[in-house]
Amino acid sequence: MDYQKILEDIYEEIQPFAKDGKQADYIPALAKVNPDQFGMCLETVSGEVYAHMQADTRFSIQSITKVFALAMCLSMKGETLWKRVGKEPSGTAFNSLVQLEVEKGIPRNPFINAGAIVLADLLISELEDPEAEFLRFVRALCGSETVDYNMEVALSEREKGYLNAAIANMLKYHGTIENDIEQVLMFYFKMCSVEMSCRELAKAFLAFTNHAPFEYAGYKLSKSRIKRLNAVMQTCGFYDEAGEFSYLVGLPGKSGVGGGIIAVYPHRYSVAVWSPRLNSKGNSVLGMKALELLTTYTEESIF
């Protein structure tokens, strides 16, 4: 399979959509990002790397970090984690307060904001230095010691994070989070602010591709739990557009409002794509189209 040519052909084919959508301008720091950028990188389980355009440009990966947080929490808590957060698709916006109220403070899944805030709370309870531990785990996965938080982005999100603050307060009201609300929110925003490139993301997610046990930075996941993590990505990884992504692309994955999307083809490869312009659901316009074309050209999907 000539993946390099496929990536180049995909880039040319998606150009008619290059001006569709807009970056996440409700987060002031992300509003300043040049929206006309694109990067893509695919890494196979045998270590072959194929990259195109701005594949080495770092960007705020936002909700993609929720997969890392989930992996850490599953490693520490196992199946008891699901007493704090569900694993069903939301069908509503990623920051829905209504759904959380109706379901009495139990987030529908770990990838909506409410669920990820619960993961942040759990890490704070379990770890002596959760911010350092989270970075250590991510750096171990991607093999880069320079991956870091972007404090400008984190503080920008906190400044305008009124809805997330409301979510955290409702979680606290129902007893779903244990720690100080401000501490939990700031850690959550820092996790979302992590900057990585497509190349680094593709490398990091190889750990979730093989369906084999792994250990990174002291965190272990069994083959069974990696399978389950993939299942949650498949059904819940794209906000209320998860069904559309499954239909068009057919791979487990996770998106972020920074414009990044990561997807894995079990036992074969992981692929990351980045383009800041988002559709109305909060997913990258060019990223969605690029991954749809990838599985169309290669005829490689889980279905």
Question: Residue 66 catalytic?
Answer: yes
- Contact at 8 Å (CB) between 41 and 272? yes
Q: Which amino acid is at 161?
A: G
CA distances from 278 to 65, 208, 216, 259 (A): 18, 25, 32, 7
Q: Which of 3, 239, 265, 269 is catalytic?
A: 239
- N residues, the chain: 303
Q: Which of 50, 66, 156, 270 is catalytic?
A: 66
Q: Which of 3, 11, 149, 188 is catalytic?
A: 188
Query: What is the C-alpha to C-alpha distance for residues 292 and 244, in angstroms, rounded to an integer?
Result: 10
Q: Which amino acid is at 209?
A: T
Q: Which of 67, 138, 257, 271 is catalytic?
A: 257
Question: Residue 63 catalytic?
Answer: yes
Helix boundaries (H) for the chain: 3-13, 28-31, 65-77, 97-102, 113-126, 130-142, 151-159, 162-173, 181-193, 198-204, 223-236, 242-248, 285-298
Query: What is the C-alpha to C-alpha distance for residues 221 and 171, in angstroms, rounded to an integer?
Result: 28
E strand or H helix at 81, and its extent?
A: none
Q: Which amino acid is at 72?
A: M
Q: How far, in whole angstroms, is CA 56 from its chain's centroid? A: 18
- Contact at 8 Å (CB) between 298 and 265? no
By C-alpha distance, which of 189, 117, 195, 120 is closest to 160? 189
Question: Residue 216 catalytic?
Answer: no
By C-alpha distance, which of 78, 85, 50 is closest to 298? 50
**How many other β-carbons are positioned within 10 Å of the β-carbon of residue 220?**
13
Question: Residue 188 catalytic?
Answer: yes
Question: Residue 264 catalytic?
Answer: no
Query: What is the C-alpha to C-alpha distance for residues 41 and 21, in angstroms, rounded to an integer?
Result: 22
Active site residues: 63, 66, 188, 239, 257
